[in-house]
Amino acid sequence: MIRSAQPADTSTICELVRELAEYEQLTHQVVLEEQQVGEHLFGAEPCAEAILAEEEGKVVGFALFFRNYSTFLGRPGIYLEDLYVKPEHRGAGHGRALLAEVARLAVQRGCGRLEWAVLNWNKPSIEFYNKLGGEALSGWTTYRLTGEALLNLGQPERS
């Protein structure tokens, strides 16, 4: 079963994010705080959404996503930030159901595309996305500013 996340699910979502980071060998990058995640998902001005996969009443996976915009299409889109299913529940259709629900929401909301990123070494996920019709984009390199670089660029210029 797929359902929308509720405020009471915040700690579960944070736990799943930590499990995802461990799987991706990126635990050293996880600094999230449960209160902030709750505010960002369920506060006065939510900036992301989450849906959960359940099996026998227990959460076994999640998808977290947010709106973006394509100037070329002149339409909104959805960026899938995280898609994760607990290892012992993989192969049961939960990942497909989560991604299908995000795609359904994209279509319902008039979005022109659904995008996500996958680590180059993550062959099981790449195969999964390929089977669903996902297309790997060549010719694009993802850039990111974080930490000190973001702070430096975001500082007002002094004259």
Q: For the segment 98-116, what is each residue's pLDDT rounded down to a tens digit?
A: 999 999 999 999 999 999 9
| Dist CA 13 CA 42 (whole Å) | 12
Both tokens assigned to 2: 């797929």
Residue 65's pLDDT is what?
A: 98
**If pLDDT is split at 50, 70 and 90, which confidence band does 131 have?**
very high
Three-state secondary structure string covering 125-159: HHHHHHHCCCCCCCCCCCCCCCHHHHHHHHCCCCC
The percentage of the chain sitting over the pLDDT mark of 90, rounded to a whole number, equals 91
- Using one digit for the tens of pLDDT, what is the confidence trace for 39-77? 999 999 999 999 999 999 999 999 999 999 999 999 999
| C-alpha distance from residue 151 to each of 28, 40, 159 (Å) | 20, 21, 18
Q: List pLDDT tens digits, range 26-44.
A: 999 999 999 999 999 999 9
**Verdict on whether the full-model pTM lies above 0.85:** yes
Domains present along the chain, CATH in parentheses: 2-154 (3.40.630.30)
pLDDT of residue 6 exceeding 70: yes
pLDDT value for 158: 66
* Spatial CA neighbour of 99 closest among 64, 136, 135, 58: 64
Question: At 84, which amino acid appears?
Answer: Y
